[in-house]
Amino acid sequence: MSGTGYVYKREPVIFELSSPGRKGYSLPALDVPEPDLGQVLPKDQLRAEPAPLPEVSEGDVVRHFTRLSQRNHGVDIGFYPLGSCTMKYNPKVNEVGAGLDGFANVHPYTPEELTQGALELLYDMQNYLAEIGGMDAVTLQPAAGAHGEFTGISIIRAYLASQGQGHRNKVIIPDSAHGTNPATAIIAGCETVEVKSDARGGVDLESLKAVVDGNTLCLMLTNPNTLGLFDENVHKVADIVHQAGGLLYYDGANLNAIMGYARPGDAGFDVAHFNLHKTFATPHGGGGPGSGPVGVKKDLAAFLPVPVVGKQGDRYYLDYDLPRSIGRVKSFFGNFGVIVKAYAYIRSMGPDGLKQVSEDAVLNANFLMTRLKKDYYLMYDRICKHEFVASGLWQKDRSGVKTLDIAKRLLDYGVHAPTVYFPLIVPEALMVEPTETESRETLEMFADIMAKIAGEAKDSPEKVLAAPQSTFVKRLDEARAVRQPELAYRGDLGPGK
């Protein structure tokens, strides 16, 4: 095997390190009178016994968590081609920016005259995103893409209601869409209507015409979509929806494919979200924190959540004066630290750099797709954007090796698996997004590994079926891990229980 990624070390994990009486801290002696807890706390909230916490030294704790962290795959360790997630390298200069005292330690209640720098950054960020997306106004509040979707749908509803169209409640969503699209539409109180994809993977225009009507609130579209394919009919799609009186929502999760080249606002979209933790290089995984700002066209700007950041003369201020605002969607001003990191990224890349990002992301994806298509079935064999969806169908039909097995085998070679079984319209889907930050050597390495696994699936399928062998844990019961996770320390279990 020519150079592989990071291969995991395999010592056993010992979780129970507690030793009675051992301490990881020493507090100074109390120099005030000790309160009687029975006097200051309600009786029913007092513990009868001290909490059964692990008793460990500082060194034990640091080693335990550092060891665990080394057993995780991360973008700082190796290739992470998780389709739709844009797991690009996160430049460390972003962390330096977010760690500056004036950003990291500013209290959200600090008066405006003392936080002009932070407000300026938020103000500029609103403008940068508006420019990148072709929008007129932006809120930075939403905490992630899905939250942006919810915010955007709420804004569209409020706007249409102000136009006497409050009855509209149907959200049209292509069958290739990410699961958050229907989920957020439902949470926002709407009904969803699915529209089919055509043979090229785009929105089927006839099906779209058949489902739009006087109850259409909006269409939610990802472009390029989750197949990594750019819908060339996007202007026609926009016209069909607009003619029916509905609006267009742009799911910006795939902006990394077109940034600097095309803007959703120019293609007819009225509202768009940005995933700062994808396109703009802030870390993600493990559930957050993310940031999902939303941009809108000027007719919808009056409905943005409050506050937005305004500027009068040289002074930045928090503008609460939006009488038709949908209200707050998050406490304070969004995930500020994430916004600072994305700001640092935008400023360090500059307009030409951002354009180069999409160019390289698309080049890398097409390079890999071309290398893989000899061994893996491609349902949509056409030039892709920043990602593509291959399939394990040939392997499954020939030797019973499924996409899940291929994904597990990849772990043995030290790379993270692509997204699997999504989008739902491709059987045995393997959704690969290499991102622009990977070198040619890494792409070659991944292509070699994929070719090798295709060979194994043919000649020694048992190897693939029994994978992974080199990781700390073998195959997990993934359903149980999701449904019955055990996340809390249970001192009562004791060592080895």
Ligand X SMILES: *Cc1c(COP(=O)(O)O)cnc(C)c1O
Give the span between the Cα atoms of 80 and 302, in whole angstroms.
40
Q: What is the DSSP string of 225-293?
A: -TTS---TTHHHHHHHHHHTT-EEEEEGGGGGGTTTT--GGGGT-SEEE--TTTTT-----TT------
What is the spatial order of strands in the sheet that 388-391 belongs to? Answer: 377-378, 388-391, 429-432, 419-420
Closest to 86 (Cα-Cα) out of 466, 458, 385: 385
Question: Which one of the spans 111-119, 138-146, 434-442, 462-470 is the region binding ligand X (CB under 6 A)?
Answer: 138-146
The residue (of 253 and 346) whose beta carbon lies closer to ligand X is 253
Closest to 226 (Cα-Cα) out of 86, 60, 373, 16: 86
Does residue 145 bind ligand X (CB under 6 A)?
yes
Closest to 266 (Cα-Cα) out of 245, 246, 295, 291: 295
Does residue 226 bind ligand X (CB under 6 A)?
yes
Does residue 337 bind ligand X (CB under 6 A)?
no
Reply yes or no: is the peptide bond before residue 423 cis, omega within 30 of 0.
yes
Q: How far is the CB of 109 from ligand X (least distance, A)?
A: 28
Q: How far is the CB of 296 from ligand X (least distance, A)?
A: 18
Report long-range pairs for 346-351 (Cβ below 8 Å, ≥24 apart). 346/125, 346/128, 346/280, 348/91, 348/93, 348/94, 351/260
Q: What backbone torsions phi and psi does residue 402 show, to the nearest 5 degrees?
A: -95, 170
Question: Which one of the spans 117-125, 144-152, 342-350, 384-392 is the region binding ligand X (CB under 6 A)?
Answer: 144-152
162 burial via Cβ count (<10 Å: 0-12, 13-18, 19+):
middle
The residue (of 260 and 285) whose beta carbon lies closer to ligand X is 285
Question: Which one of the spans 18-26, 139-147, 235-243, 354-362 is the region binding ligand X (CB under 6 A)?
Answer: 139-147
Choose which of 180, 223, 282, 391 interacts with ligand X (CB under 6 A).
180
Does residue 396 bind ligand X (CB under 6 A)?
no
Residue nearest to ligand X (CB): 145
Q: What backbone torsions phi and psi does residue 280 show, to the nearest 5 degrees?
A: -105, 30
Does residue 231 bind ligand X (CB under 6 A)?
no
β-strand partners of 316:
311
The residue (of 265 and 292) whose beta carbon lies closer to ligand X is 292
Does residue 341 bind ligand X (CB under 6 A)?
no
Does residue 385 bind ligand X (CB under 6 A)?
no
Does residue 295 bind ligand X (CB under 6 A)?
no
The residue (of 128 and 274) whose beta carbon lies closer to ligand X is 274
Q: How far is the CB of 413 from ligand X (least distance, A)?
A: 25
Does residue 253 bind ligand X (CB under 6 A)?
yes
Give the span between the Cα atoms of 344 and 38, in whole angstroms.
50
Choose which of 88, 157, 178, 409 interacts with ligand X (CB under 6 A).
178
Choose which of 154, 222, 256, 442 interacts with ligand X (CB under 6 A).
222
The residue (of 284 and 402) whose beta carbon lies closer to ligand X is 284
The residue (of 149 and 375) whose beta carbon lies closer to ligand X is 149
Query: How many binding residues for ligand X (CB under 6 A)?
Result: 13
The residue (of 154 and 471) whose beta carbon lies closer to ligand X is 154
Question: Which one of the spans 46-54, 143-151, 195-203, 478-486 is the region binding ligand X (CB under 6 A)?
Answer: 143-151
| Beta carbons of 366 and 383 less than 8 angstroms apart | yes
Q: How far is the CB of 90 from ligand X (least distance, A)?
A: 15
Q: At what angle do helices 440-459 and 403-412 cross, to 10 degrees?
A: 120
Q: How far is the CB of 291 from ligand X (least distance, A)?
A: 8
271-290 footprint of ligand X as x/- string (CB under 6 A): ----x--------------x
Contacts of 495 (CB under 8 A, 6+ apart): 16
Report the residue count for the chain.
497
The residue (of 115 and 275) whose beta carbon lies closer to ligand X is 275
Q: What is the DSSP string of 421-490?
A: S-STTSTTEEEE---TTS-HHHHHHHHHHHHHHHHHHHH-HHHHHT---SSSS-S--HHHHHHS---S--
The residue (of 251 and 405) whose beta carbon lies closer to ligand X is 251
Does residue 300 bind ligand X (CB under 6 A)?
no
Q: How far is the CB of 84 from ligand X (least distance, A)?
A: 4
Give the span between the Cα atoms of 472 and 11, in whole angstroms.
8
Does residue 144 bind ligand X (CB under 6 A)?
yes
The residue (of 119 and 221) whose beta carbon lies closer to ligand X is 221
* Touching ligand X, residues 420-439 (CB under 6 A): none
Opening angle at CA 75, ends 73 and 76, nearest 5: 95
Q: How far is the CB of 63 from ligand X (least distance, A)?
A: 32
| Beta carbons of 241 and 223 less than 8 angstroms apart | no
C-alpha radius of gyration, the chain, whole number: 25
* Touching ligand X, residues 57-116 (CB under 6 A): 84
The residue (of 152 and 290) whose beta carbon lies closer to ligand X is 290
Q: How far is the CB of 293 from ligand X (least distance, A)?
A: 11
Contacts of 476 (CB under 8 A, 6+ apart): none
Interaction site with ligand X (CB under 6 A)? 84, 144-146, 178, 180, 222, 226, 251, 253, 275, 290, 292
